[in-house]
Structure 1
Amino acid sequence: MPVNPHALGNRDPRFADQRWLLDLAIEQFGPEWDQDRLHYLSAPVSADHKGAILGLGRSIRKLDDFTREMVNLARHFELRGAGQRRAGHTASASDDHFAAAVLYGGAQWPIFANTELNVVLEQKKTDCYTAYAAGADHLVEPVEVPYEGRTLAGWFHLPPGHEEATGPLPCVVLLSGMDGFKEMNVFASADRHLRRGMAVLTLDGPGQGTSLVREIWYDPDRYGQVGTAAYEAVAARPEVDPERVMLCGVSQGSFWVTQMAAAEPRYAACATLFTCFDPGNAVMFGSASPTFRQRFMYMTGTSGVEELEAKVGTMTVAGLSKQIHMPYLAVMGEDDPLCDPADTYRHLNDVPGPKELLFYVGEHHAPVTRTAGRLGPAVFVAVADWLAERAAGEPLTSRHTTVDARGRSHTEPWGGERHYTYGAPLDPRTLLGDGPGTGLS
């Protein structure tokens, strides 16, 4: 079942040339050949739904299988949820509809145009999430954020028991990455940010999720305006403390929230996970899976390679770093195949405000699969705690924290400048003397 016209695949020569290799990789290694897709899609759903989503690894054997298999499971949960609601089982119905919404969103990922199917899937995702919100264990409201004469779709979440708060709450403006969408960013229940007493606005920025179907494309030169628009949308709410609105961005969202932080100084803090700070996304678009280039063509509304290269050529943190004076966190895995660690170090060296790098030795793009991530600070928990500390007014002193392969954290002051040593922990200096190696193993 092809989900894209053949000509759409051929607009990027690299994707066209490597499509057969892409399908071979999926056949051999499953749908998580380059990222933990099923794991991050299953993360926010209830425990009762995780097994079914992870089980899709057995039936997805090529790129075109993604949409069919995810839609089939989404439809199953959607219909089951409707039955649960008729039976008066509100909580069960809500969980089913949440899982269905996430799966409908996941089914959209391999579709690189606003086809009839993609538009229908967008509506199904929204309908199911709306049904989830009606029975959620906390308040969830749809939000439209004004942006350049249009609006960006979001969901605003308030923690359970927010009515008993003694004052307005801190709020996190949360963005996912290129492959993400707003409905997957907040857990169905027991969300990390909500449990810490923070409200959340999860947003589809230009080129993401609902914005794609609305043809609101990503433009690197104008994204900073999203920062002001999102800030003013939440700061105007009576439940939110305008002095404690913070940013959090995952993967490509790390670059987007950095653009927002540089453009809007009223944010109280900014956290970035799985950093994407290579100029022009050179590593991602040059040597990673060819799906990234196709996805980004769709996100930017471009139709050819030259137009794409012109867009990505302006994507750099070089002009942003020095504008960030708020507390700033970056989290990355050392062996990230999508970002050169040296670019993250260069960026942080130029950030004048208090900053921290949480650096996981030997970890992938999402540092959750090797021993540093499994035994060390749980990434998303560490970030939620960091944001909660900033919301509580705890000061941040610039520092560098390395999580070694045994999960031990080594924290040092940032100092003047820091640089990544390629080949670490095999420091060449330790190989020339008589002493043992000193790597973080």
Structure 2
Amino acid sequence: MSMLFRNELHEDFGSWPIAYIPYGGADFGEIRAVAEAVGDGDHSAFYEAWVSAGDRLKGEAEAALSGGHKVSARELYLRASVFYAAAYHPLYGAPVDPRLLSAFRKQTDALEMGLALSAPTIEPLSIPLAETPMPGYFIPAQGLEHEMRPLIIFNNGYDGTITDTYFACAVAASRRGYHSLLFDGPGQGAMLYEHGIPLRPDWDVIIRAVVDFAVNYPLVDPDRIALSGWSLGGFLAPRGAAGEPRIAALIADPGTWSIADGFRKVIVQKFGVPAEATADLGALDQTLLDTMDAFIHSNPVLNWKVVQRGFWVHGVDNLRAFLASAELFTMRGHAERIQCPTLITQAENDGLAADAGLFFDTLRCPKTLMRFTAEEGADGHCEMKNRSLLNRRVLDWLDTQFGPGSS
């Protein structure tokens, strides 16, 4: 498929809404129109094109609501939230760009306006965690809104938002008879953007808090709670499930063994460093670190991934501190503790899924490895060009785990 956007970073982020087309998050022509509006423009042009489209959709939603067309208003508000969410990722980094906060707040408002028009009304939730509760939303099963049902807790990744998870995961789950619980944890969405709370490796603490909340929710079957993580959530969800026995089924899309190991491979291949010298990335030679730092800053995509996103999400301000933090995010010593049936996905041409097989082999629980291919149009990170295939197969697997009446 040829690129819609002319800039590689813009293509990465601007193509996300393609995955949401089957679930009402966008239509292809709208995405293409934004790409044409951006043209050869910079990150500001990218931001302005998406926000402008979001504003237009929100205006249409308001007009529909004024005219008594609640169904259209709901659809348009939710769609506007996707367009606002797509706008600001190239602006990542500390200090927080005011434009990022502006678009994120517009995104949240549009999402909540759309969900409020659902039947029954879906309202924002607050999940207790230390001094700063986590924002969340309970998305009921379609047509079974008042029944006790199995629940899927959807765990986001490095830079996705609740809006992304809603369209990529929760709509499909709702259609299949599952309740869903969406949340922002430390280092994600509102917890990072609004409160400056960084990512943490002890994700079992986070999942314990979310499950504590879930089991007290009246519509949740406490014996059928699944945990599903996508992108970096393919590490976070398993790390959480390793310390939370109330999780009855686990999905990691893709199965992510570690953050640091990916960097280790690049360092060995790109900089000719012996593998043994990369055993502890936080203790690398300073000369090598300086060389790496210059290389990262010279590459816009790497600079975004490591400096703009990595430093900010991990709450650090230099490469050594970031790499030392990355070492803490590993399933080593934790994978063996997962007890529930576990599904690991691995998509062709997804470098972040490279260790999914190692992860799978280390598991001691009932387990399934599910592969996705370019022939199916489902290659690449999180199967974003054929997300409906991913959802169909994963939910079929979950139906099997939870037995008759699960969907």
User: Aligned to 1:78, which of 58, 67, 85?
Assistant: 58
User: Aligned to 2:348, which of 319, 334, 356?
Assistant: 334
Q: How does 1:31-180 map to 2 (within 5 A)?
A: 31-32=10-11, 36-40=15-19, 42=21, 44-46=23-25, 49-60=27-38, 61=40, 62-111=42-91, 112-113=93-94, 114-137=96-119, 139-162=121-144, 165=147, 168-180=148-160
* Counterpart contact for 2:156–2:162, Cα < 8 Å: yes
1:236-295 Cα offsets, whole Å, 9 max, x none, are 011101111110111111111011101111100001113332451525995893122121
* Counterpart contact for 1:173–1:202, Cα < 8 Å: yes
2:399 counterpart residue number? 388
Cα distance in structure 1, aligned partners of 2:139 and 2:4: 38
State the identity as a percent: 24
| TM-aligned CA distance change 1:98 to 1:201, over 3 Å | same
* Counterpart contact for 2:19–2:384, Cα < 8 Å: no
User: Aligned to 1:378, which of 389, 392, 399?
Assistant: 389
**2:221 paired with 1:241:** yes
1:346 counterpart residue number? 358
Give, in angstroms, the shift of residue 136 of structure 1: 2.3
2:294 counterpart residue number? none
| TM-aligned CA distance change 1:211 to 1:127, over 3 Å | same
SS of the residue aligned with 1:170? strand
Gaps of 5+ in 2: 271-298
After superposing the two structures, state which structure 1 stretch, 311-320 or 61-70, moved more.
61-70
| TM-aligned CA distance change 1:368 to 1:71, over 3 Å | closer
User: Aligned to 1:364, which of 380, 384, 397?
Assistant: 380
**2:331 paired with 1:292:** no
| TM-aligned CA distance change 1:33 to 1:78, over 3 Å | closer
Give, in angstroms, the shift of residue 26 of structure 1: 5.8
Cα distance in structure 1, aligned partners of 2:169 and 2:345: 25
Give, in angstroms, the shift of residue 189 of structure 1: 11
Give, in angstroms, the shift of residue 179 of structure 1: 2.7
Cα distance in structure 2, aligned partners of 1:147 and 1:77: 35
More helix by share: 2
Measured on the aligned residues, the alpha-carbon RMSD in Å equals: 3.0
1:99-123 Cα offsets, whole Å, 9 max, x none, are 1112222223122232322222222
Cα distance in structure 2, aligned partners of 1:284 and 1:184: 30
Q: How does 1:395-406 map to 2 (within 5 A)?
A: none
* Counterpart contact for 1:247–1:271, Cα < 8 Å: yes
After superposing the two structures, state which structure 1 stretch, 190-199 or 306-315, moved more.
190-199
1:183-225 Cα offsets, whole Å, 9 max, x none, are 22224999211122111001112111111121121022x3221
Cα distance in structure 2, aligned partners of 1:35 and 1:263: 36
| TM-aligned CA distance change 1:183 to 1:228, over 3 Å | same
Cα distance in structure 2, aligned partners of 1:361 and 1:45: 25
Does 1 or 2 have the higher relative contact order (CA < 8 Å, sep 6+)?
2
| TM-aligned CA distance change 1:219 to 1:30, over 3 Å | closer
Q: How does 1:8-19 map to 2 (within 5 A)?
A: none
1:410 counterpart residue number? none
* Counterpart contact for 1:196–1:388, Cα < 8 Å: no
Cα distance in structure 1, aligned partners of 2:109 and 2:319: 35
Gaps of 5+ in 1: 1-23, 395-441
Cα distance in structure 1, aligned partners of 2:389 and 2:208: 31
Give, in angstroms, the shift of residue 80 of structure 1: 1.4
SS of the residue aligned with 2:134? strand
1:22-81 Cα offsets, whole Å, 9 max, x none, are xx996366832599434235554356x442134322233444433111111111111111
Cα distance in structure 1, aligned partners of 2:119 and 2:170: 9
* Counterpart contact for 1:170–1:240, Cα < 8 Å: yes
2:260 counterpart residue number? 280
The count of residues paired between Structure 1 and Structure 2 equals 361
Cα distance in structure 1, aligned partners of 2:4 and 2:352: 18
Cα distance in structure 1, aligned partners of 2:252 and 2:322: 25
* Counterpart contact for 2:17–2:25, Cα < 8 Å: no
* Counterpart contact for 1:155–1:202, Cα < 8 Å: yes
